Amino acid sequence: MKRKQRNSGDGQEWLNTYADMITLVLTFFVLLYSISNINMVKLEKVAEAMQKKLGIESKLELKDLPQNMKYPQVGDTKEELTASEAALNEAKEKIESYMQANNAAAEVTQEDDVLYIRFKNEMLFAPDSPDIRQENIRYLDYVGDVLKAKEPEILAVYINGHTADAPDSAWNDRILSSQRADNVAIYLEEQKGIEPKKLISRGYGKNYPIADNSTKEGRDQNRRVDIIILGKDFEWSQLEGDGSGSAQKFDPLTPIDVPGAQSK
């Protein structure tokens, strides 16, 4: 019997297999790129299908993969910032850089559509005085300029005055803290031209300490002026109730304080 001759071809058959494999790999990465949150069940099915197609038998399960491979991060999944969030973010960077460059005793933080500025201790005011220190007014001046530039994106500016529990003080703590907050608001209104109805000044006296009033270090921390800027897209959050499913709106009369402040 005559033996059948093997079809020699051109020796390039392996290119077909290679091209198929490259196409599958490319398809897989396009799939990863097109989704930000990966459904784990679907991903397991895709991996299993690729293994079968490529002739690979593996006992490795998806749960055994390292965490950074199990949930690949493709691009930035965070929602885009609102106009006011972006404006406050830019304001935060400018003010923070200025304070750091001048070694100012101030803290600047931002959470979503709220910007917090805390002037520590006696930076703006001398002991038992409601008058802004002239030697440090440049810091308030810079903050006012930045806020004025971003005013169209600002809903409100809260100025909270706080004092410490000092029994030997000649001033009533509520009066002193209120006058300090008022003077900051007046300066931002008269010198920087910020719309008056956006400026809300309040004095809390010694009633919202962030440190122990029984020590000098604690009292130094409690003496502060907090400026809280709300972006125009800010929405009063819904606070969870007692677990019964009820909820109530945030009360705008309660203190809006810098994150981490303790009430008492």
How far apart are alpha carbons 113 and 155 in whole angstroms? Answer: 10
Q: Which of 51-60, 101-110, 152-161 has the lowest mean pLDDT?
A: 51-60
Ranked by mean pLDDT, the top range of 70-74, 173-177, 181-185 is 181-185
More confident residue, 235 or 135: 135
pLDDT of 93: 96
Q: Which of 37-41, 79-83, 149-153, 175-179 has the lowest mean pLDDT?
A: 37-41
Q: What's the mean pLDDT in 177-184?
A: 96
Give the whole-number percent of the chain exceeding pLDDT 90. 44
pLDDT of 248: 38
More confident residue, 11 or 77: 11
- What's the chain's average pLDDT? 77
Model confidence at 253, in pLDDT bands (50, 70, 90)? very low
DSSP designation for 240: E
- 153 and 87 Cβ atoms separated by less than 8 Å: yes
pLDDT one-digit tens code per residue, 118-129: 998 789 999 889
SS (H, E, C) 97-114: HHHHHCCCCEEEEEECCE
The answer for residues whose C-beta is within 8 angstroms of residue 9's C-beta and 6 or more apart is none
Q: What's the mean pLDDT in 41-68?
A: 56
In CATH terms, the fold of domain 83-249 is 60s Ribosomal Protein L30; Chain: A; (3.30.1330)
What residue segments make up the domains of the chain, in order of their start? 14-70, 83-249
Q: Radius of gyration over alpha carbons of the chain, in Å?
A: 31
pLDDT one-digit tens code per residue, 192-242: 999 999 999 999 999 888 889 888 888 889 999 999 999 998 876 533 344
pLDDT one-digit tens code per residue, 63-72: 544 444 444 4
